[in-house]
């Protein structure tokens, strides 16, 4: 159900059509939206400011399964490949040509890769949720094989900067405050690190801190920062959006959950039996397993929400401005043809 009198307004509209697993949303200042696409060979879908949807599929020999994505200069898009047994980072060009960017971590093949974000220095931040195969075997409160790695400009081999995480999911970098926030989905916590040597070629993370632990039926997945330094979290399964203050105070902004499904999922989680069936059937009254959110629009007060099971994006409006990501104002190159 959707609780009454929550701070966030109800769904304003839906955008996009024929989307295939739009797990992650990139919002650009032009109004362009970009999401992953798992159709056929894999690639991206682009939603123009007018709402028209366009698909760019990879011409790579291997089928790619992009989970997280990152927009670069000139309209190139980085894909975090989350295959069944393989991972890595690939670059998709606007014409569908694809090249590998980083396929190893400290010399070993990169496991299925969850997320990718590029900072203002050109450094790539990568999350791997688990080293276990299949991934569902680590949908556990005891999960601890996830990690965060970086790829420095000019390198193709990632370096681990944080390890032992409880199913590492999305991360976000607050360059102004010198912090990195990351969700540990099945550890059910939001974690924050301090950034050290950000402007050097040997950046590191320190002072690991649990900002907050989440209660029953909250499985933090995506996250975004607002201009006040608060972190907005999406929860899979329960279709929740939660705003977390720097001190860890939680405010429930939205929820659309099926109570029977939550009870079934919680019982499985408590007994180490959580599996794909609990995630792949998680729907609310109108939501389809919320996974990510991005601030966009002219004032960065529009929320575009990614989801795992839908074919369009729900859109909310809030009175809180989001923090601009590093990709917010990059040049779009050939992608400008999708602007109105």
Mean pLDDT of the chain: 95
Give the predicted TM-score (pTM) of the model: 0.96
Q: Does residue 81 contact residue 89 with C-beta atoms inside 8 Å?
A: yes
Instruction: Give residue 9's pLDDT.
Output: 65
Average pLDDT over residues 116-140: 97
For residue 61, what pLDDT band results from cuts at 50, 70 and 90? confident
Contact 218, 277 (CB under 8 A): no
Question: Where does the pLDDT of residue 330 fall: very low under 50, low under 70, confident under 90, or very high at 90 and above?
Answer: very high
Phi, psi of 13 (to 5 degrees): -170, 180
Nearest to residue 287, comparing CAs of 261, 262, 305, 263? 305
3-state secondary structure of 74: helix
Q: Which two tokens stand for residue 332?
A: 């779009």
Report d(CA 93, CA 78) in Å as an integer: 9
Domain boundaries of the chain, sorted by first residue = 13-338
Question: What pLDDT sits at residue 2?
Answer: 43
Whether the CB-CB separation of 122 and 105 falls below 8 Å is answered with: no
Instruction: Label residue 173 by pLDDT band (50, 70, 90).
Output: very high
Q: What is the pLDDT of residue 1?
A: 41
Say whether pLDDT at 217 is over 70: yes
**pLDDT per residue as tens digits for the range 243-272:** 999 999 999 999 999 999 999 999 999 999
Q: How far apart are CA 317 and CA 254, in angstroms?
A: 12
Lowest mean pLDDT among 1-15, 40-54, 231-245: 1-15
**Architecture of domain 13-338 in this structure:** 6 Propeller (2.120)
- pLDDT tens per residue across span 269-324: 999 999 999 999 998 999 999 999 999 999 999 999 999 999 999 999 999 999 99
Whether the per-residue pLDDT at 199 is higher than 90: the answer is no
Query: What DSSP string describes 168-218?
Result: EEEEEEETTTTEEEEEETTTTEEEEEEEESTTSSS-EEEEEEEEEE--TT-
């Amino acid at each position: 159900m959707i609780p009454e009198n929550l701070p966030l307004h109800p769904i304003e509209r839906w955008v996009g059509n024929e989307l295939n697993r739009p797990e992650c949303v990139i919002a650009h200042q032009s109004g362009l939206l970009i999401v992953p696409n798992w159709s056929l060979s894999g690639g991206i879908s682009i939603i123009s400011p007018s709402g028209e949807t366009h698909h760019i599929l990879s011409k790579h020999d291997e089928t790619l399964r992009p989970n997280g994505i990152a927009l670069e200069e000139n309209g190139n898009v980085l894909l975090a490949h989350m295959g069944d047994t393989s991972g890595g980072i690939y670059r998709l060009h606007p014409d569908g040509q694809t090249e590998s960017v980083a396929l190893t971590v400290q010399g070993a093949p990169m496991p299925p890769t969850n997320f990718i974000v590029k900072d203002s220095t050109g450094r790539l931040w990568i999350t791997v949720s688990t080293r276990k195969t299949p991934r569902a075997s680590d949908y556990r409160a005891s999960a601890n094989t996830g990690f965060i790695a970086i790829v420095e400009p000019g390198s193709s081999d990632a370096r681990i900067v944080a390890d032992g995480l409880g199913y590492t999911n999305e991360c976000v970098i607050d360059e102004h405050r010198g912090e990195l926030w990351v969700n540990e989905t099945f550890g059910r916590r939001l974690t924050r690190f301090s950034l050290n040597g950000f402007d050097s070629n040997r950046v590191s993370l320190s002072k690991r801190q649990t900002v907050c632990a989440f209660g029953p039926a909250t499985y933090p997945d995506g996250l975004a920062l607002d201009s006040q330094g608060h972190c907005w979290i999406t929860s899979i399964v329960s279709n929740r959006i939660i705003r977390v203050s720097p001190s860890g105070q939680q405010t429930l902004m939205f929820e659309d959950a099926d109570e029977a499904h939550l009870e079934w999922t919680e019982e499985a989680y408590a007994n180490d039996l959580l599996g794909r069936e609990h995630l792949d059937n998680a729907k609310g009254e109108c939501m389809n397993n919320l996974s990510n959110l991005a601030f966009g629009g002219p004032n960065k007060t529009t929320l575009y929400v990614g989801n795992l099971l839908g074919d369009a994006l729900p859109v909310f409006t809030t009175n809180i401005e989001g923090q601009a990501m590093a990709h917010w104002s990059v040049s779009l190159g050939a992608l400008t043809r999708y602007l109105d």
